[in-house]
Amino acid sequence: MKKLVDARGLSCPLPVLKTKEAIDKGEQEIEVLVDNNTALENVTRLAQSKGFKVTTSKSTDGDWQILINREK
């Protein structure tokens, strides 16, 4: 089951800390929602450094969806 981390409206480092918490709990698939480029870059960097595959997409309202999956 995918873990949702809604970090919209939060300034760094909170999106990174919330994502790290989900990773540390052993989540294999995480969806992170952010609303600024700094959070997008920092969450992506964290996930990749932990060995996760990261894909991103931007919604029509300007928010970013970051899909994080553990590499098999």
Summarize pLDDT for 28-41 with one digit per residue, the tens: 999 999 999 999 99
Q: What is the identity of the amino acid at 44?
A: T
CB count, 10 Å around CB of 71? 8
Residue 29: other Cβ atoms inside 10 A: 13
pLDDT in tens, 2-27: 999 999 999 989 999 999 999 999 99
What residue ranges do the domains of the chain occupy? 3-70
Over residues 40-51, mean pLDDT: 97
Q: What is the pTM of this model?
A: 0.94
Give the architecture-level CATH label for domain 3-70: 2-Layer Sandwich (3.30)
Catalytic-role residue among 3, 6, 8, 12? 12
How many other C-beta atoms are found inside a 10 Å radius of the C-beta of residue 27?
18
- Tokens read off for 4: 């949702």
Known catalytic membership, residue 17: no
